[in-house]
Amino acid sequence: MTEHAALLLLALLLDAVFGEPDWLWTRLPHPAVLMGRLVAGADKRLNKHRDLRFRGILVMIALGLGALVLGAGLAALGPVVEVLLAAILLAQRSLVDHVRAVATGLSDSLAAGRAKVAMIVGRDTEPLDAAGVARAAIESGAENFSDGVLAPAFWFLIGGLPGLLLYKITNTADSMIGYRTPRYAEFGWAAARFDDLLNWVPARISALVILVAAGRPGGWPVILRDAPLHRSPNAGWPEAAMAVSLDVALSGPRSYEGAIRDFPFVHPDGTRTPGPAEIEAACTALWRSWGAMLALTALIAVL
């Protein structure tokens, strides 16, 4: 783990400095895009007829084994390859850039804020008022810090490049087919359950990191109370931590495909009218959390 920590430290710094340069990914397919194509291909070919849950389980076994074998092969090429791939598959810089773009857009107009937040959330954005846009951006930032930054780093520490690729292909599959809809309830069952499993520990570590980095360790009882209210077994933890850190009420009712879903508020005593200032505060909290994670990684590297 110490060796992996040293490599992860370099990868975190590379991602923070360079992010996802457009000049590169407009010329080459991003690894996450390639993973998405694999999942889409499996969905198109196998998500039909009968035995859909069994087919979905086989797909995840195949994707998982493929990720482990590919990761081991790439790791054998040396530490430079490991660091570069880990940096590419972490998403701190791009995450903050996307969240901050919502603050900039919302400062210009509600329509601009809705357009920017539509790029990072799955809910209906047209019905959102300014507070709804801000909540959506902050929630997305908190959740994606967990599954786009800390969780990949966690699995790289545990299993090196094979562990990282296993996590990323699982998370990609969950984001594409892990929905409780008529089309994916059975075929995507394994993707959703495996993603829940791989995110269980990182989500709770993320909550602790966000809270400590914000200097609000006393807010843990609120997280313990409100995180389980979330529809996801994991996303509620970083969201509740961010809500407490910013003193903002998150989650709450929202619309998906024209239907209102009456979700409870997380940290309901926080302000319910956040705006661009709170989104900017969330970006600051994300960088502070990244800094805490970086310090922890450096500590592990020297132990």
Per-residue pLDDT of the chain (303 residues; tens, 9 = 90+): 788 999 999 999 999 999 998 888 889 999 999 999 999 999 999 999 999 999 999 999 999 999 999 999 999 999 999 999 999 999 999 999 999 999 999 999 999 999 999 999 988 899 999 999 999 999 999 999 999 999 999 999 999 999 999 999 999 999 999 988 899 999 999 999 999 999 999 999 999 999 999 999 889 999 999 999 888 899 999 999 999 999 999 998 888 878 888 889 999 999 999 999 999 999 999 999 999 999 999 999 998
Round to whole Å and give the CA distance between 141 and 138. 5
Asked if 92 and 149 count as a contact pair (C-beta separation under 8 A), the reply is yes
**pLDDT at residue 303, rounded to an integer:** 81
Instruction: Give residue 89's domain range.
Output: 2-302
Round to whole Å and give the CA distance between 266 and 247. 10
Give how many domains the chain has, as a whole number: 1
User: Tell me, what DSSP letter sits at residue 109?
Assistant: -
* Cα–Cα–Cα angle for 143, 88, 7, rounded to 5 degrees: 100
Round to whole Å and give the CA distance between 287 and 145. 10
**pLDDT at residue 294, rounded to an integer:** 97
